[in-house]
Amino acid sequence: MSKINQAPVLFPGARVPDRQRTVDSSGLRLAVYEWGDASAPPVLLAHGGFDFARTFDVFAPLLADGGYRVVSWDHRGHGNSEHADLYSWEADERDLLAVANSVSPGPFPVVGHSKGGGLFAHIIQALPHRFSRFASIDGLPFRQNLPDVANKERTIKLKDKAAKFLDDRRRSHDMTRRPGTVAELATRRAPMNPRLTDEWLQYIVYSGGYEAEDGWRWKIDPSLRMGGFGPWRSRWVTDRLPGFPIPLLALFGTESEPMGWGVDPEAIKKYMPSHAQVEILEGVGHFLHIEKPTLTAELVLNFLGREGA
Amino acid sequence: MNDIQFLTHGRIQLALHILCENSEGPALLLLHGLGENSPARLPDEYKNWPGPIYALDFTGHGQSTVPRAGGYTCEILIADVDVALASIGPATIVGRGLGGYIAVLIAGCRPELVKGVVIRDGTGLAGGGLGANSPYIGMPDVSQLITPPDPFAIVELATDVRPPDYVAEFVRLAGEFSELSRPISVAACERAPWLDAVVAEMGVEVSSLSEALKCYAEQSA
C-alpha cells in the first residue's frame, strides 16, 4: 500500500486516491486505488475503455465522503496496470474478480461506467452471489452505432474493418504512443471526450500519461485500438436484463458521444427488471460522473443506501 | 525434424513449421485444432501437394509463445494466420477443428491471400455455441507451471461463441472477392450450427480432403 503524490495541476474537487496497491491476476500486475476509510463498507468502481481509474478522481471522493471505501483498478493495458500479451472481455472479467477477491468475499455493491458497466452487467449474471447492487453509468450496452445499411453493404464494411484490424495487428509489435506536451495530449484526447473541458483533460494527463525524455505519452498500451470485430451482440445483455438478479440503478445522459453505446434510454426501459431505477439526465453526455459528479454521486449514494428490491 | 521460422505477432513469437521446402508451386498452410500443435513431419495425405507446405502453431500452442493471463479470441488467431500469410504469401489453408473455423474467417478477411480453404474434423470444431449461452467465466488452474497448450486457450477457445450469421458473412466475403469459384471446401463429418451455415452458402463444396487439395492445386498452378 503506498501513498500517491498530488498532480502538479489541480482540478476543482479532484482528490488523489488515499492508497494504492497492486493485485496479481494470473501473473499480470493490476494497479488498484482506494479512496476513503479503509474500514468502511466497500464499493468497487470500474472505468470505461481507454479510461483509467484516476478518471474517478472527482467522483470517487464523493462516494468516499458518503461513507464508503471506494476501490477501483486500471484495466489490463490501461493506466498503471501492466500491458498484456492478449486482451479480451473474459480476461478483463477474470482481472475484475482478482480485484474483487482482494476487497472482500462479498457480496458488495459495484458501480461501472461504459465498458466497466458492461463487464459488471455480464459478470453479475455469472456470479450473482458476489455482488449486492449495481449502479450503471451509461454502462449497459444496447446496440452498436451501426448505420442502417443493406446486408451486402454491411458485409463489405466488415471486410474493411477486419482488414484494418489485421493490418494493425501486423505492426502491433512496434507501435508506440506519440509524444507531446501535456496540452497536446489533452488536445489529442478531446475528440474522444468532446464534452469534457480542456482543464480536466490536462489534469488526467498527469495520471494517465508519463513523461519521457522526448515528451509526455499516454500510458495505455499502444497495441490497443478502438473498433475491432467479433461475434458479440449487445442484445445478449439486454435480453437478460428482465431477470437481472440484484438491485439495479441505470443512469443515462441524453447527449450522444463518440465513446458511448448509442443507447436510447427510452427504448431500453422495456428491458429493465421491475426493481430497476432508471434515471435520465437531460443535457448530459456519456461521462455523467465527470460532467455532473455531485448529482451522479447523490443518485448512486441514495441507491446504495436503499433497502434491496 | 522440420525447420521452424519464428514470426512476430505483437508480443508473441509464432512458430511456423516448414514441412516441405519446394520452392516452386503454390503454398499450403496447415492449421491445427484446439490444444494440438503442428505435426513434426509431413503427413502422408499431403505428400502430393505440388508446392511448399507450412504448419503454424497458434498463440499458446506448440512452440509459439504462451502469453500471460489469457485473453484469447478467435479474432486474435485470425491475426496469427494473417502474420503467417504476410510471410509466406498466398496459400491454400487446411484447418483441423478450431483451425478450420479460423480458416473460414481468414478466407473472408483476406480473400486475395487465401487460395482455398479445407475444413477438417478436429478438436475445438464446435466452439461454445450460438451466443446466447448462460454467462460463464472460465477459471483455468494456474497453480502448476503453464506449458503449451496454454490452459487459458483451452478454456477460452472452447467456449467462444460462433453465431452462424457471423460466420456466413465471412463465407460471403470469400465468395465475393476470391478468384476461386469454390473458395471453401468442407471435408468434415462433425456438424455444428456455424458449419451448417457455411455449407449452406454459395461457393462451398462438401468433398474429401484429397479431392479438395487436387482442386486447389490445379487452380493455383
- The three state secondary structure string of chain B is CCEEEEEEECCEEEEEEEEECCCCCCEEEEECCCCCCCCCCCCHHHCCCCCCEEEECCCCCCCCCCCCCCCCCHHHHHHHHHHHHHHHCCEEEEEECHHHHHHHHHHHHCCCCEEEEEEECCCCCCCCCCCCCCCCCCCCCCCCCCCCCCHHHHHHHHCCCCCHHHHHHHHHHHHHHCCCCCCEEEECCCCCHHHHHHHCCCCEEECCHHHHHHHHHHHHC
Q: What is the pLDDT of residues A250-268, one digit of tens each?
A: 999 999 999 988 888 888 8
Contact call for B10 and A223, based on CB within 8 A? yes
CA distance A48 to A92: 12
Of the ranges A72-76, A136-140, A146-150, B106-110, which one carries the lowest mean pLDDT score?
A146-150
CA distance B91 to B179: 13
Q: Does residue A2 carry a pLDDT above 70?
A: no
Q: What is the pLDDT of residues B62-81, one digit of tens each?
A: 999 999 999 999 999 999 99
Q: Does residue A62 carry a pLDDT above 70?
A: yes
ipTM attached to this prediction: 0.95
Contact call for B71 and A85, based on CB within 8 A? yes
**Which pLDDT score is estimated for A154?**
80
Q: What is the pLDDT of residues B172-216, one digit of tens each?
A: 999 999 999 999 999 999 999 999 999 999 989 999 999 999 999
- Per-chain mean pLDDT for chain A: 92
Cell of B152: 487459458
How wide is the angle at C-alpha A198 spanned by C-alphas A74 and A291, nearest 5°?
A: 65
With beta carbons under 8 A apart, name residues in chain A contacting B73. Answer: 86, 88, 230
Residue type at A136 in one-letter notation: S
| Residue of B12, B75, B102, B113 to mutate, interface with A, max A Cβ within 10 Å | B75
Of the ranges A12-26, A72-86, A147-161, A215-229, which one carries the lowest mean pLDDT score?
A147-161
pLDDT tier at A21, thresholds 50, 70, 90: very high
The larger pLDDT score, comparing residue B130 to residue A210, is at A210
A11 close to B (CB below 8 A): no
**CA-nearest residue of chain B to A162?**
B109
The larger pLDDT score, comparing residue A233 to residue A211, is at A211
pLDDT tier at A308, thresholds 50, 70, 90: very low
A132 close to B (CB below 8 A): no
Residues near B221 by Cβ (< 8 Å), separated by ≥ 6?
Answer: B25, B26, B50
- Nearest CA among A46, A237, A93 for reference residue B156: A93
CA distances for B22 relative to A20, B28, B30, B54, B218, angstroms: 58, 11, 15, 11, 16
Q: What is the pLDDT of residues B34-69, one digit of tens each?
A: 999 999 999 999 999 999 999 999 999 999 999 999
Q: Does residue B170 carry a pLDDT above 90?
A: yes
**Which pLDDT score is estimated for A217?**
97
What is the rounded average pLDDT of the residues A170-186?
A: 95
Radius of gyration of chain B, Cα coordinates, nearest whole angstrom: 16
Percent of chain A at pLDDT exceeding 70: 93
pLDDT tier at A5, thresholds 50, 70, 90: low
- Per-chain mean pLDDT for chain B: 95
Question: Which of A91, A159, A163 has its CB closest to that of B71?
Answer: A91
Specify the residue for cell string 487460395. Answer: B115
With beta carbons under 8 A apart, name residues in chain A contacting B142. Answer: 26-27
CA distance B118 to B141: 34
What is the rounded average pLDDT of the residues B138-154?
A: 89
**Which pLDDT score is estimated for A185?**
98
DSSP state of A2: B
Q: What is the pLDDT of residues B120-130, one digit of tens each?
A: 999 999 999 88
**Which pLDDT score is estimated for A307?**
38
Peptide bond into A17 cis (omega under 30): no
Contact call for B138 and A90, based on CB within 8 A? yes
With beta carbons under 8 A apart, name residues in chain A contacting B86. Answer: 170
DSSP state of A254: S
Q: Does residue B218 carry a pLDDT above 90?
A: yes
A90 close to B (CB below 8 A): yes
CB pairs under 8 A between A and B: 130
